[in-house]
Structure 1
Amino acid sequence: MRIILSEDNDILRKSLSFFLESKGFTVDQFADGKDALEAIEKNSYDLILTDINMPGISGMEITQHVRQNLGSDIPIIVFTSSGVEQTELDSFDLGANEFMAKPVSPAVLLVRINKLLSTRV
Structure 2
Amino acid sequence: MRIILSEDNDILRKSLSFFLESKGFTVDQFADGKDALDAIEANTYDLILTDINMPGISGMEITQYVRQTIGSEIPIIIFTSSGIEQTELDSFDIGANEFIAKPISPAVLLVRINKLLKIRV
Tell me how many residue pairs correspond in the alignment.
119
3-state SS of 2:45 partner: coil
1:21 is matched with: 21
Q: CA deviation at 1:12?
A: 0.2
2:30 is matched with: 30
3-state SS of 1:57 partner: coil
Distance 1:118 1:68 in 2: 24
Corresponding letter in the other structure for 2:78: V
Q: Deviations over 1:66-93 (max 9, x none)?
A: 0000000000000000000000000000
1:56 is matched with: 56
Distance 2:25 2:94 in 1: 26
Corresponding letter in the other structure for 2:11: I
Distance 1:118 1:105 in 2: 19
Q: Deviations over 1:88-108 (max 9, x none)?
A: 000000000000000000000
- RMSD value, Cα: 0.7
Distance 2:64 2:91 in 1: 9
Corresponding letter in the other structure for 2:4: I
Corresponding letter in the other structure for 1:105: S
Gaps of 5+ in 2: none
TM-score scaled by structure 1? 0.97
3-state SS of 1:37 partner: helix
Q: CA deviation at 1:115?
A: 0.2
Corresponding letter in the other structure for 1:27: V
Residues 1-121 of structure 1: matches in 2 within 5 Å?
Answer: 1-118=1-118
Gaps of 5+ in 1: none
Distance 1:65 1:91 in 2: 13
3-state SS of 1:96 partner: coil
3-state SS of 2:96 partner: coil
Stretches (4+) displaced over 3 A: none
Corresponding letter in the other structure for 2:55: P
3-state SS of 2:44 partner: coil
Distance 2:88 2:41 in 1: 25
Distance 1:33 1:80 in 2: 14
Corresponding letter in the other structure for 2:38: E
